[in-house]
Amino acid sequence: MSPTVIFRTHSDIEANIVRGLLQAHGIWSILASDVPHSIFPLSVDGLGEVRISVHPDEAEEATRIIEAHRTDIRKGKVIRLNDQFARLEERVGYRFRDRGLLEHALTHSSHAQEDVTGAVTDNESLEFLGDSVLGFVVADLLFRKFPTYTEGQKSKMKAMLVSKPALAQLAADIDLGGSLLLGRGEEKTGGRQKHALLADTYEALIAAVFLDGGIDAAHAFITRQFEPLIDRFAEDDFPARDDKSALQEWLQARGLPPPQYRVAEESGPPQRRVFTVEVRIQGQPTAEASGHSKKDAEQRAARLALEKLGKER
């Protein structure tokens, strides 16, 4: 007798989960796919179908087992396996062609280790790829948004944007924790709220979007997520402009010696001291400014010198 197809999906991960479920109940199955498989558990074009077949005498029991395990116990409702991440896709603003990639991104190592078939892969490789994609796109956004900022300034901004706390907050904003595939132990210890776990999964999600839709889709997702944070930098004028470095670079580019700073005056009580600093270029007084610290006064003086030099060009 020919095997009976009892389950169809476009996700390798989902197929292996179902196959493992059947095996745990003593039902052996056959997995067939229309497309070749790569190092990632995904269909090449997002349209390949994966089929699970069993002996005709066990088809009814296999179907019953699958249907019985479609209940989402935490939320008390039944969800088709293919649709369990639909709400997350809405929050992300991206519809996956291959949902197997999304499942892969959400699969924590604790869940993969508990899989009886050993066929489920965790998301650590996707984290690595997502980190690189995120870094590239954020650097591109900062380059375009702040063309006059120095490399050091943009590096500081980037470091803050891609930090674990920042990524964990963005993950929480889209309730990524609610969709994680965790092992029983990790679930009990509050894995859905752990910042490091959320940040890593967020990077894996970025990689999944990139693999599924290309760099344009990943760029669009990251832009939607990070633009409000980047705009806040602009509104707060953060990080503060390093005008001393900018002035020195301006002079070096023209073959001139670096500027010289000297404290011209100190005034005010000890707890509210005011320093007045003069900046000299080629030995000539060029600008003067005051601040509550020598460093602040030097930055202000450098800024005034840059403005004066710019007008003289």
Question: Rounded to an integer, what distance in angstroms lies between the CA atom of residue 219 and that of residue 205?
Answer: 13
Give the dihedral sign, CA 290/294/296/297.
positive
Is 57 an active-site residue?
no
d(CA 40, CA 211): 10
Handedness of CA 282, 285, 289, 293 (dihedral sign): positive
Number of Cβ within 10 Å of residue 225's Cβ equals 22
Judge whether 131 counts as a catalytic residue: yes
Calpha distance 108→185 (Å, rounded): 12
* Per annotation, catalytic residue among 203, 212, 243, 278: 203
Tokens of 136: 């590239």
Q: What are the Cα distances from residue 183, in Å, to 16, 108, 115, 292?
A: 16, 8, 9, 55
Catalytic residue among 127, 131, 200, 212: 131
> Could you list the active site residues?
131, 203
